[in-house]
Structure 1
Amino acid sequence: MNKNIKQISNPFSSGGGGNNFETNVQAAFVAMMLTGGMVPCLPAWPIRKIKLQGKYTGFDTDDLIVFTNSTDGKKGRKLLGQVKHTISITASNKVFGEVLQAAWNDFNNPRVFTEKSDAFVLITGPLSVSDNNDVRTILEWAKDSENADDFLIKVNRANFSSKTKRNKLRVFQKHLKNANDGVDLSDDELYRFMKSFHLLGFDLDIKAGVTHSLLQSLICQFSSENVQSIWAQIIEEVRSANQNAGTIIIDSLPEELRSVFKKRTVETIPLDLTRTPPDQEITDWNTITYASALAIASLLGSWNEGSDADKEIAGQLANEEYKIWINKMREIIQKPQSPLMLKNGKWSIKGRLNLWQKIGPRLFDEQLDRFKQCAVDVLREPEPKFELPPEERYAASIHGKVSRYSESLKKGMAESLALLGSHPQYFNHCSADKAEAIAILAIREIFEEADWILWGSLNSVLPLLAEASPDQFLNAVENALIQKPCPFNDLFAQEGNGITSGNYITGLLWALETLAWDEQYLTRATVIFGELTTLDPGGNWANRPANSLSTIYLPWFPQTTAPIEKRKVAIQTLQKECPDVAWKLLLSLLPNQSQTSIGSHKPVWRWKIPEKQSKEFNDQEYWEQVSFYSDMAVEAAKDDLSRLTEIIEDISDLPQPAFDKLLSYLESAELTGKPEEDRLPLWLKLVDIIAKNKRYSDTNWALSPELIGKINIIAESIAPQNPLNLYQRLFSNRDFDLYEENGNWEDQQKELEERRKNAVRDLLTRHGLNVVFDFVEDVEFPRLVGLSLGAVAEDNVELVMLPHLLESENNKLTQFISGFIWSRYQNQGWTWVDQTKISDWSTKRIAQFLINLPFTNKTWERANQLLADHAAEYWSKVAVTPYEAEGRLEEAMDRLMEYNRPNAALSCLYSMIHNKQPFDQSRTIKALLAAVRSNEPPYTMDVYHIVEIIKILQNDPETNPDDLFRVEWAYLSLLEQDRGASPKLLERRLASDPEFFCEIIRLIYRSKDESKTGKELTEDQTAIATNAFRLLRKWQTPPGLQTDGSYSADQFSKWVDSVKKACLESGHLEVALSHVGTVLIHCPPEPGGLWINSSVAEALNAKDAEDIRRGFRLGIFNSRGVHWVDPTGMPEKELAAKYRQNASDAENHGYQRLAATIRSLADSYDREADRIIDDHKHDEE
């Protein structure tokens, strides 16, 4: 056996000594041991110990040995692990060879490895797709195979395995042969070893990895407060043990770490407390004092006592003064289990339906009539926000565009209409059918001549109004669809593109989804969805009528209680009314089109959707629907070649009957007899499908070779005879789709290029150059035609095309000649360029010719020589690709700057930096400042490159501070923390130069001594003020902070005194001190003491420092940024505790005023926690 493997080395060296990935992996197993977790690849037994660096005890696979024991302690297993962050499972990879050498040695050493009990694991970071998929697959095959023959048959069978899998097995065989002293392993030895070998991926090389998250989740089960610090402590223990080639058992770990993972005692509720409590007395709300007044509240549903309009409606409905009626509500809410709730001035009803049942007899015709009129008045109010442009509506309240009636009242009355229409039986003292009639009449009046603004205003309550009277609601929608102009066109048009945009069609879609649950309304709702889809211009929001249709009819998760036959009828009706919409719907319902669904909007009051209906999956019903929809789709595709082309894309997903019907039609004379031009898209699609299935023949979804053969025959029968059509497919910009095999991409690319050359050669030889020009007009990517022609054409072809095509205004010919010139250069080099007599051409043609050559020094030399004073024709238009250049790029930078292309010059500069070429500060600063005023298209500005260049300037001590000042000021908006950048010099200037700070304040804020009716700022002044404010917002370098991290109390004190003096004189003192307070949150703590520097604390504690303290408090509050709201309020409670401790520490050091400010912050977080908990509880109710 080959013993030429790594010898025992210094434990710290072999332990990695800083190899974080290996340490993290080892720590992961320690965390599993502490938390009682189980080891992968072994039985679910607890971990007994973990040995790090096992070579000195006879293990060759020595990075990690994990020992487990059965629960009775009678059996043991081992996991022998090798950890490699980066590895490639290839024949030439030495590291993988070492891994297998070590494993093979241990496999044959019964002292350290027991076959069929123990396991080898290679634990890695990121792997290639083939290593990840193919290697794992063959290892699993080994474990699941009966014997060696069974395993090797699986690997070698063409239809079961693949070439890449067979190659990976050969990699194992090669390295194992080397490990076995050059002797091939027998089939049985190979099979037995592969059964014992495992490949595991741990993404512990990145902080945001899944493995990190899972490990921390395990730790969190024992301690949710210090997860990060506990994980760090585990890593530190592993690192220490690693350096000493140690063995870790639970008892060897520090007590403080072990105590975290002690199992908690589970207390059981005493038996007597589990008994059913005595029945509580249930209040009959129909018999209490003020029951009639409560009945009015049940009609209102909810209202806001802060709204005068709401109170007016309540008084009108109660037929008495609001203040008298509301006093009765205040009495009722005091009662136990009161149905009334009051939160922040908003009244609402708990258990509306239950109260509706009890209080219904208290309502009479007169009250329902008043309610109807009130509801119509409230719900027909147009939202004032629609008076604003769409992009400003999110700030409607700021503009004073607020509805008279509250959203609470609108929703409450809409719910009441839904209850009247769906549960009229509880009003036994009203006239027959009175309640239902009220709902019908109200819906009719609300939507009478409704324009788009009213539909938009009702967006949030439309589902409720649909439940109130489904027929009347559907009538209203159908009438709106035939109006001229149709209000829904305007409603769709309100959807914007920005983050402040709104979507006012969602409520209508949800209302229709609600009604579609009922068999009676499914067909009408479906047709309306179809008509809305024809109106829908599309947008960024996912709520679209077409998506609603797909959701409702999803075969495996239908969102309707209608039987399958009714669903079929509805879709057939849709096909009759809106055939194009029905077609898209049918395609979306084919198998494997939708894998997930959150369902549709469900009714709240009218129907109760059975839980079984919305979740149960029935295999037979699924295939009945899929078969019907597929058959409909195939029938709809006949006689429509564009639809045939679409459905062919999903041919592999069609059920057998539909598949056979589609193939039958494709073979028919009816199709083959159609004109070639019409058949071309279909043929192209068929050829793509054939190539794709051949390329992925080893996948589960690929069609069988027999079916591919049938499709190939069909494709050949409709293949174009015209070579212009036949060769089109080769000249698309989708090379990957044109490959005919999987893998060997370089060979595939070369073969594709040869096919393209042969096609162009055939066209040129058989039909001439003019046909090639015609071909150029037909193909998707003409440059490829030029590339191929340049490789195969004789010299005389150039005389026909050059130079006149260089000035063509036809974009396709321009691309074509560009490819031709590039190909000629690639094949014949500069000799061809210089032999082409371009000096006699016009300046414009010469420049265009040179533009199509590589962006290199040799091209620039010819541009200077041939164009002379007309060099602008080249430099102002050439595509700048610095990676093509050889040597230095200064000349290109200078020329690009000369012709006003600083962004292009900066791309050259970044390339020079990337290639470690000397950095020219002068050119850099000149280009950066020029780019600010450049007229180049925005896409030419590479933000990443600019930020990286500025960071180099910032870190270069030779950079002129004045120049850097101008650069940072110009690019302030780009210097963000998320780009790893900040305006370092500007921040230091603010912190060290009080006059500069005061100047920035004066740029932003008007002096309090000035008149408020001053002159309007110019556009330039506004831009400067905006930039100044941006600088203050980013500022994180407090005055007094030194470059070494220390703090100068003297410098801080002098700076603050200067600011106070200057800003007092200018009338900016209060706002300036507030900003000073904000930046002081970034001060370092007092060395070995208080959480804040003592000199800063002294300044914050001064009697006259209220403005600074206010800014300090605001800075702390805003530093939290955007965050997820935990319904338990725990983060807020933790912050409150932290700042309360800070306040106590400050007070103990004599800073009582600062302590009061911090304590007020802690109190605010306590209140915020209470509010969050209360809101969440209210939402649940």
Structure 2
Amino acid sequence: QPADMWVDSIIRDILNNSTIEWWFSNGRILSQIAEASPRCYIKYLIDDLKKEDSIIKRLFIPKANISFMGPGENYTNVLWSLRMLLWEEEFFLPVSLVLMELSAIENNTNSADKPLETLCAAYTIWHPQTYVNTNQRLQTLRTLCHKYPTQGFSLCKRLVDRLDHSVIFPTKPMHWRRFEQERPKVTNEDIYESVGSICQLMIDICDFSTSQIVDILEIADQQAIGQSNREPLLGFIIQHKERFTGNYEVTNKVRSTIYHHKSYPESNWALTADEIGKWEGLLKDIEAKNPIQKYRWMFKDIYLETLAINRVDHDFQKVHKITLEIRSQVLKEIHNAKGLAGITEFAQIVKCQSIVGDVYALLCAEDDFEKILRLTQTETKLLQFVKGFFQGYAYRFGVDQLINALKRIDVEKFMDVIHIPLTAIGASKRVWDYVETLPKKISTQYWTDVIIETYESSDEVVFIVNQLNAVQRYEASIDLIHRSSKYHSVQIPADVIVETIIGLLSSQPNDASRTIWYELAEIIRLIDKRNDVDREKLFFIEFVFYELLEQYGDTDHLKLIDEIMSTPQSLMDILNFMYLSSDPEERNAELEEVRQKNKQTYALLAYRLISDIRRVPCVDRTNKIDEKALKNYITQLRELAGVAHKLPQIDHTIGELLANYPEGGDYPPTAICEIIENLNNKEVNSGFRTRMFNKRGVTVRPALEGGTLEKAESLKYKTYANKIRFTYPVIAEIFDTLSSEYADMAYKEDTRTKIEKMEF
């Protein structure tokens, strides 16, 4: 039709002249563009994917940085448009080919919004998101698998994996190109045919890689696909078993499957004894004969998957004993065949080599002790094995016996590694006493690496904190102080805590330190309540960490805030970080000081603290104002500001602080009105008005509500103004101005709502 041709020409010109910036900018309307001219849209994608500098491929490269809201990938809108086109028979194959091409782009993000997942939604056996019928989908799937066997295999696996637990996210077809189109109904016969065809397709395109063989095994034991489909899959593996005899991943998968089903034989999902018998026969045929490979599976985890252990029996000691006996027999067999060299060879191929070391501590010969320690000098890959060995040795024979064994070793030969067995066995006074007898280098390395637990003795905690601080492990010290104080009520001297926190500041903690921020905030709040703390150091700590403290609770009554709300000089000290003098010479000196001493950080901290404070000087916790003290406080503060040539800025701050007084039935208070009226200062008035306006914060309202909230605010300020209109005209004018501004905002909100209602 001429109209279609005209639209096609427009869309074709737009796409052919598009840049990657165009795709970024027009992501929200890509579905409309695709629906306006599907053929042109698909043809552009196909042609673009053939180019070396393909725009679409660049869009589908996942982002490196992920925010807390998720990856927000650039390709999401393109996928939405392709999901829509997959509904149509005419475009089903070409769009599927495009998605297969895009799925070849590596994407390891933890997101379901990927090309292969989009295909999975359209091809889902039991609820396909397309108008294409079952036979057409299977034909298309075969085409895709033979053209893209690797991606096709992954798609087939997704379609039949956990079929009885699968879910689908509905997608939307075109809005105005299709009317009253119905999705083909999927019958049980269709599902049965689809599962059989897909399973056979997996066999046909399997490349015999370990990952694909494991995938087939993962499907071959699932009840949902039916026995008639399980048998060909397992039969395929059995037929080609010589290809992966001795393959650890394959044998491990077979063994885990057998254990899984035989552990719960009465379950509905468990395979019959006959089927399990075939799996057991396969395992026997493909299992490695070399003990180093044969028993590798026993050390893949702390948990040992074997039917010799009754997992229903929750006697931990009994289970642990049996596990240890089984693993000990394995290591004995390896040791008898190849000695310690065999043990270390075995440790390097298992997943949990520390368990190998732990178990071997039961079997080791006396001369193995020094040999194993020497391994840390020559084989860095065996570090976890060595640590596991010493942990097991200390656990079974005692710390004293381990230390006695270390004393028989020439320390000079093992100067760089002797700390390893000491750090592996945990921290205790017996170990610390021995460490103190060793050269300083070893002692330093020990305290750098040792893992600290929780201690109930104040002397022990203080000793450990001092040792950790000496090697600049301030984060570990903070963690220990927090745990010991919170869980064991250990009283730690305030000076130790303060010096640890100041040390943390000097060490420039990185992002990893954020794991202890909450603990640090609790510790600072704890010492804030104590009276044995150096006040100057406490004020400095609370100033630096004020924003952190504000995140984890109320800060209004910290000692720092009490100080600056009662002492004008203390507030002025903080304001001096924020503002520069108006005197040229003083200003230049302050600028030079900022450049030299990096006081920009203090300026930012001071700004955040002053902006956050919601207290008024000389006002107690019941909101009672000491009028005489408040007037004296403001007078002294303004005098200090005048000397520092910073009076306008300080006046603005005074106005903000006065606006912090909580609003209630008798608001505004006479004392504050008197001060503002007597000062009648432009900067004070501006600061007061600014803080009053900002106190409102963020508002949330229902849709189409209009300016109800703003009307309430306008009425509130008009009420305040009317109370003092004939006594305090300066502050009444401020309230009148705020009332007028909110009335204007209410009018704009009402107007906007009327326009929005017209759209519905």
Q: Same fold (TM over 0.5)?
A: yes
What is the aligned partner in structure 2 of residue 864 from structure 1? 436
1:545 aligns with 2:120: no
Q: Distance in 2 between matches of 1:706 and 1:979?
A: 63
The structure 1 residue matched to 2:453, chosen from 863, 881, 893, is 881
Task: Mark the CA change 1:756 to 1:458 in structure 2 (over 3 Å): closer, same or farther.
Answer: same
Q: Distance in 1 between matches of 2:499 and 2:314?
A: 47
1:603 aligns with 2:174: yes
The structure 2 residue matched to 1:465, chosen from 33, 36, 49, is 33
The letter of the residue matching 1:732 is: K
What is the aligned partner in structure 2 of residue 396 from structure 1? none
1:519 Cα deviation after fit = 0.8
The letter of the residue matching 1:834 is: I
Q: Distance in 2 between matches of 1:963 and 1:1094?
A: 38
1:1126 aligns with 2:694: no
- Listed one character per residue, the Cα deviations across residues 101-154 of structure 1 (whole Å, up to 9, x for unaligned) are xxxxxxxxxxxxxxxxxxxxxxxxxxxxxxxxxxxxxxxxxxxxxxxxxxxxxx
What is the aligned partner in structure 2 of residue 684 from structure 1? 252
The structure 2 residue matched to 1:586, chosen from 153, 156, 177, is 156
How many correspondences in the alignment?
735
The structure 2 residue matched to 1:674, chosen from 243, 254, 257, is 243
What is the aligned partner in structure 1 of residue 359 from structure 2? 788
1:1108 Cα deviation after fit = 3.2
What is the aligned partner in structure 1 of residue 689 from structure 2? 1110
The structure 1 residue matched to 2:524, chosen from 950, 957, 967, is 950
What is the aligned partner in structure 1 of residue 498 from structure 2? 925
Instruction: Indicate the structure (1 or 2) with the bigger Cα radius of gyration.
Output: 1
The letter of the residue matching 2:708 is: K
1:663 aligns with 2:234: yes
What is the aligned partner in structure 2 of residue 563 from structure 1? 133
Give runs of aligned pairs for residues 753-764 of structure 1, distance below 5 A: 753-764=324-335
1:519 aligns with 2:95: no
Q: Distance in 2 between matches of 1:434 and 1:608?
A: 22
What is the aligned partner in structure 1 of residue 7 from structure 2? 439
1:915 aligns with 2:488: yes
What is the aligned partner in structure 2 of residue 1041 from structure 1? 619
Q: Distance in 1 between matches of 2:537 and 2:284?
A: 69
1:924 Cα deviation after fit = 0.8
Contact 2:304/2:323, CA 8 A, preserved across alignment: no
What is the aligned partner in structure 2 of residue 977 from structure 1? 551
Task: Mark the CA change 1:936 to 1:1007 in structure 2 (over 3 Å): closer, same or farther.
Answer: closer
The structure 2 residue matched to 1:1050, chosen from 628, 645, 657, is 628
Q: Distance in 2 between matches of 1:841 and 1:882?
A: 30
The letter of the residue matching 1:1048 is: D
1:1144 aligns with 2:719: yes
- Listed one character per residue, the Cα deviations across residues 996-1017 of structure 1 (whole Å, up to 9, x for unaligned) are 4445445335678889999797
1:814 Cα deviation after fit = 0.9
1:486 aligns with 2:62: no
1:732 aligns with 2:311: no
Moved more, 650-659 or 1158-1167: 1158-1167
What is the aligned partner in structure 1 of residue 411 from structure 2? 841
Q: Distance in 2 between matches of 1:715 and 1:1060?
A: 87
1:872 Cα deviation after fit = 1.7
Contact 2:256/2:305, CA 8 A, preserved across alignment: yes
1:728 Cα deviation after fit = 1.5
Q: Distance in 2 between matches of 1:1081 and 1:703?
A: 74
Question: Structure 1 vs Structure 2: percent identity of aligned residues?
Answer: 18
1:509 aligns with 2:87: no
Task: Mark the CA change 1:588 to 1:930 in structure 2 (over 3 Å): closer, same or farther.
Answer: same
Q: Distance in 2 between matches of 1:1085 and 1:763?
A: 80
1:1093 Cα deviation after fit = 4.5
1:724 Cα deviation after fit = 1.6
SS in 2 for 1:1040: coil
1:771 Cα deviation after fit = 1.1
- Listed one character per residue, the Cα deviations across residues 315-340 of structure 1 (whole Å, up to 9, x for unaligned) are xxxxxxxxxxxxxxxxxxxxxxxxxx
The letter of the residue matching 2:715 is: R
Q: Distance in 2 between matches of 1:708 and 1:1100?
A: 88
The letter of the residue matching 2:383 is: T
Task: Mark the CA change 1:552 to 1:844 in structure 2 (over 3 Å): closer, same or farther.
Answer: same
Task: Mark the CA change 1:630 to 1:987 in structure 2 (over 3 Å): closer, same or farther.
Answer: farther
Structure 2: segments with no counterpart, 5+ residues: 726-730
Q: Distance in 1 between matches of 2:500 and 2:619?
A: 33
1:489 Cα deviation after fit = 4.0
- Listed one character per residue, the Cα deviations across residues 620-672 of structure 1 (whole Å, up to 9, x for unaligned) are 54554444434433544473432121243343254113222223223x2422x
Contact 2:578/2:603, CA 8 A, preserved across alignment: yes
The letter of the residue matching 1:1117 is: R
Q: Distance in 2 between matches of 1:1175 and 1:732?
A: 66
Give runs of aligned pairs for residues 169-188 of structure 1, distance below 5 A: none
1:1098 Cα deviation after fit = 5.6
Task: Mark the CA change 1:1152 to 1:810 in structure 2 (over 3 Å): closer, same or farther.
Answer: same
Query: When you count helix as a share of all residues, which structure comes out higher?
Result: 2
Q: Distance in 2 between matches of 1:971 and 1:988?
A: 16
1:920 Cα deviation after fit = 1.2
What is the aligned partner in structure 2 of residue 767 from structure 1? 338
1:750 Cα deviation after fit = 4.1
Q: Distance in 2 between matches of 1:935 and 1:1058?
A: 37
Contact 2:427/2:453, CA 8 A, preserved across alignment: yes
Contact 2:556/2:615, CA 8 A, preserved across alignment: no
The structure 1 residue matched to 2:99, chosen from 509, 529, 554, is 529
- Listed one character per residue, the Cα deviations across residues 855-883 of structure 1 (whole Å, up to 9, x for unaligned) are 11111111111225652232233333345
Contact 1:790/1:823, CA 8 A, preserved across alignment: yes
SS in 2 for 1:589: helix
SS in 2 for 1:644: helix
Q: Distance in 1 between matches of 2:660 and 2:189?
A: 66
Contact 2:145/2:151, CA 8 A, preserved across alignment: yes
Q: Distance in 2 between matches of 1:980 and 1:664?
A: 68
Task: Mark the CA change 1:970 to 1:757 in structure 2 (over 3 Å): closer, same or farther.
Answer: farther
Contact 1:897/1:927, CA 8 A, preserved across alignment: yes
1:901 aligns with 2:473: yes
Q: Distance in 2 between matches of 1:991 and 1:477?
A: 66
Q: Distance in 2 between matches of 1:1091 and 1:627?
A: 79
The structure 2 residue matched to 1:825, chosen from 389, 394, 413, is 394
What is the aligned partner in structure 2 of residue 136 from structure 1? none
The letter of the residue matching 1:987 is: I
Contact 1:1113/1:1161, CA 8 A, preserved across alignment: no
Contact 1:645/1:682, CA 8 A, preserved across alignment: yes
Q: Distance in 2 between matches of 1:754 and 1:879?
A: 29
Task: Mark the CA change 1:1085 to 1:434 in structure 2 (over 3 Å): closer, same or farther.
Answer: closer
What is the aligned partner in structure 1 of residue 728 from structure 2? none
The letter of the residue matching 2:618 is: G
- Listed one character per residue, the Cα deviations across residues 768-827 of structure 1 (whole Å, up to 9, x for unaligned) are 2211111011001111100000123333432432x312323423x111011111111111
Q: Distance in 2 between matches of 1:834 and 1:935?
A: 36
SS in 2 for 1:744: coil
1:829 Cα deviation after fit = 0.8
Using the size of structure 1 for normalisation, the TM-score is: 0.57
SS in 2 for 1:754: helix
Q: Distance in 2 between matches of 1:954 and 1:845?
A: 43
- Listed one character per residue, the Cα deviations across residues 21-40 of structure 1 (whole Å, up to 9, x for unaligned) are xxxxxxxxxxxxxxxxxxxx
Contact 1:559/1:600, CA 8 A, preserved across alignment: yes
Using the size of structure 2 for normalisation, the TM-score is: 0.85
Contact 1:856/1:884, CA 8 A, preserved across alignment: no
